[in-house]
Amino acid sequence: MLGPLLLLVSLVVTAVVAGLIMAGLAMPAVGAAGASARAGVGFFDSLPAELEQSPLAQQSRIRAADGSLIATFYSENRIVVPLDQVSPTMAKAQVAIEDTRFYSHGGVDLKGIVRAAVNNANSSSRQGASTLTQQYVKLTLQENAVYAGDQAGVAAAIDKTYSRKLRELKLAVTLEEKLTKDEILQGYLNIAYYGDGAYGVEAAARHYFGVHAKALTLPQAALLSGIVQQPRAFNPRTNLKAANARRNVVLTRMLSTGVITAAEHDKAAKTPVRLKISPTGNGCDVSPYGYFCDYVYRTLLADKTFGATKAERRQQILRGGLTITTTIDPKLQQLAQTAINERVPASNGDGVGAAMSVVEPGTGKILAMAQNTRFSNSEKAGFDATNYNVDFAYGNSIGFQTGSTFKAFTLAAALKEGRALTSKIQAPPSPATFPASQF
């Protein structure tokens, strides 16, 4: 059975919904309201009360031995951060524009519901009454469906139906019994879409301004918090005028609720929007070490530590927020790449390819992996997605035989056995044939 709070909420909301249905359909029977209310309570009672939360999709990053970034992989460009790593101004701006009374009501704002119902029944303009918690529930249900690959679930999470709103309402009430307001706000700031491919406030701050979420200023915070309502319409990169107007709406709301002073409002409103768009590359095509990046990616795809199937492993790389630190030495990598480019440039005119791997003796650590082409599926000259440093196990090349490189190892083994440099070794002929493609 419903608890006292949920029962009260269900009765109030069901009554409002029934009223709206009657107003919209002009139902003649007065008794229909009572029947709708009774049916509504039963339906409300049958709805799930626990919000399941799948892990949020985050960037995975491949790093060099010195910590520098080699590549980023993601299905959603997101970096989850705790609330104390978000500017307090940003948090206040988001609350001000989305749910001014967030800290003073429960998961459902009954006052807001009544206000919206009265307005919508008597005016052509529409008002919403979803609390920030309800919005968080909606976004979580969408993310859960995406995580499960459930397209029908994604559609159901945004259906404009009363049943969907009632489901969100019940989940919001029970969620507020489990989480604090700050925990809910933290979740919202991390899951919300801020347009232009940026999910969550940290990725958005880096994308639009090149700063961490903790460093957002008042004008920047107001701009970002305003995007969430309509990410495409208020995208500052493509529609700066609309984004600026929306930013000023947020500033006015912050002023009216006492979050900022008149002086702070006026200064921020006069501050021009200064974007510093910093796109986050996705995949090996945009990596400075494309061939090594591809080698690492394929190694991860083959490792069952990251999932039972290849599809699961791919999802883990794209969503799991992994940090993979490799053995690559950026200085050696640069030297190797420079040597190849100078001696066998891609524009040599003969179509000659060159590849170089530098492996540390004794450990097997790959310190550099270079090639005289750029890693890409492009068919343009100088680009190639085939990594000639590896064979089929880690790419789409048959690999190369090592040739005269082995002479040094043979000589070292002979010297270790005490043979002199003038020694002669009689060995029977042992010819081997290699295709030209392996030279």
Lowest mean pLDDT among 26-30, 96-100, 155-159: 26-30
Question: Does the pLDDT value for residue 208 go beyond 50?
Answer: yes
Phi-psi region of 337 (alpha: psi -120 to 50; beta: other; left: phi over 0): alpha
**69 backbone dihedrals φ, ψ, rounded to 5°:** -80, 130
Please compute the mean of the pLDDT values over residues 127-146 and round it to a whole number: 89
The answer to whether 217 and 93 have CB atoms below 8 angstroms apart is no
Question: Does the pLDDT value for residue 387 go beyond 80?
Answer: yes
Please compute the mean of the pLDDT values over residues 250-257 and round it to a whole number: 98
Q: What is the pLDDT of residue 1?
A: 43
Question: Does the pLDDT value for residue 13 go beyond 60?
Answer: no
Rounded-to-integer distance, Cα 132 and Cα 285, Å:
39
CA distances, 229 to each of 128, 193, 226, 233, 247 (Å): 12, 9, 6, 9, 12
Q: What is the pLDDT of residue 130?
A: 86
Q: Mind listing the pLDDT tens digit for each residue in 211-249?
A: 999 999 999 999 999 999 999 999 999 999 999 999 999
Question: Does the pLDDT value for residue 285 go beyond 50?
Answer: yes
Question: Does the pLDDT value for residue 286 go beyond 70?
Answer: yes
Percent of the chain whose pLDDT exceeds 70: 83
- Ranges 24-33, 355-364, 377-386, most confident: 355-364
Q: What is the pLDDT of residue 275?
A: 98
Q: Mind listing the pLDDT tens digit for each residue in 289-310?
A: 999 999 999 999 999 999 999 9
Averaged confidence pLDDT in the chain: 87
Question: Does the pLDDT value for residue 287 go beyond 50?
Answer: yes
User: Which residue is it, tokens 């990725």?
Assistant: 203
Percent of the chain whose pLDDT exceeds 90: 62
Lowest mean pLDDT among 19-33, 140-154, 371-385: 19-33
Question: Does the pLDDT value for residue 37 go beyond 60?
Answer: no
Rounded-to-integer distance, Cα 222 and Cα 91, Å:
10
Q: Sign of the CA dihedral 337, 341, 343, 345?
A: positive
For the entire predicted model, the pTM comes to 0.82
Decide: residue 294, CB within 10 A, 0-12 exposed, 13-18 middle, 19+ buried: buried
Q: What is the pLDDT of residue 133?
A: 96
**Is pLDDT larger for residue 273 or for residue 351?**
273
Lowest mean pLDDT among 24-33, 90-99, 315-324: 24-33
In a 13 Å sphere around the CA of 104, the CA atoms on its Cβ side amount to 8
Q: What is the pLDDT of residue 395?
A: 84
Question: Does the pLDDT value for residue 191 go beyond 70?
Answer: yes
User: Which residue is it, tokens 């979803």?
Assistant: 130
Strands (E), 25-109: 60-63, 69-73, 77-78
Q: What is the pLDDT of residue 375?
A: 94
Nearest to 105 by CA among 176, 184, 29: 176
Lowest mean pLDDT among 113-117, 212-216, 247-251, 428-432: 113-117
Nearest to 297 by CA among 309, 314, 280, 311: 314
The answer to whether 231 and 195 have CB atoms below 8 angstroms apart is yes
Cβ atoms < 10 Å from Cβ of 27: 14
Rounded-to-integer distance, Cα 265 and Cα 247, Å:
11
Q: What is the pLDDT of residue 25?
A: 33
Q: How confident is the model at residue 63 (pLDDT cuts 50, 70, 90)?
A: very high
Question: Does the pLDDT value for residue 10 go beyond 60?
Answer: no
The strand pair at 355-359 and 323-325 is best described as: unpaired
Q: Which two tokens stand for residue 85?
A: 């790593």
Buried b (16+ CB within 10 A) or exposed e, 126-153: eeebbbbbbbbbbbbbbbbbbbeeeeee
Question: Does the pLDDT value for residue 346 go beyond 60?
Answer: yes
Residues in contact with 212: Cβ distance below 8 Å, sequence separation at least 6, in sequence order: 85, 202, 205, 206
* Fold observed for domain 75-270: Penicillin binding protein transpeptidase fold (1.10.3810)
Q: Could you tell me the residue ranges of all domains in the chain?
A: 1-46, 75-270, 284-317+327-416
Phi-psi region of 248 (alpha: psi -120 to 50; beta: other; left: phi over 0): alpha
